Amino acid sequence: MDRCNRLVDVGRRQFLRGGAFAAAGVATAVALPAQAQTKAAPGLALVEYPSNKLANIADLKPNEPFDVGYPDENAPGVLLKLGMKVEGGAGPDGDIVGFSTICPHKGFPLNYNAEDRTLNCPGHYSRFDCEAGG
């Protein structure tokens, strides 16, 4: 019986030791290829958009969206004259802003709400504040 207990005890130790080595080997095998494949992120690219005349300032009415296509006619957007100076605003009063009318998350068309001056996504209910840069 004593011999049997020693064999079982040795077998158990060898099993645990082998399991520990196997776990260490798997962890190393998983970690090393991931590190070898890691690449530096590409640098930011400067994108220049064309300078196009989209509208006459006189055609813009406060709080009424003016539909535009920019940077080309297939890219729907909107110009808004907010009637108050905002950060990044254009025009002599700094109150004209422009936005894409395509949701950046899912591509749904955005709708303008004149009451709170937001562009709203009907697909996932995001709201973009036109006075705060979207």
Q: Which two tokens stand for residue 129?
A: 């504040």
CB 89 within 8 A of CB 78: no
Token pair recorded at residue 9: 């005890």
Say how far apart CA 50 and CA 66 lie, in whole Å. 19
pLDDT exceeds 70 at position 36:
no
pLDDT, average across residues 35-62: 79
Whole-Å CA distances, 59 to 27, 53, 64: 66, 12, 10
Confidence of residue 1 (pLDDT cuts 50, 70, 90): low
Q: What's residue 72's pLDDT?
A: 83
| Model confidence at 16: pLDDT above 80 | no
Quote the pLDDT of residue 43: 73
Task: For residue 50, count other CB atoms closer than 10 A to its CB.
Answer: 7
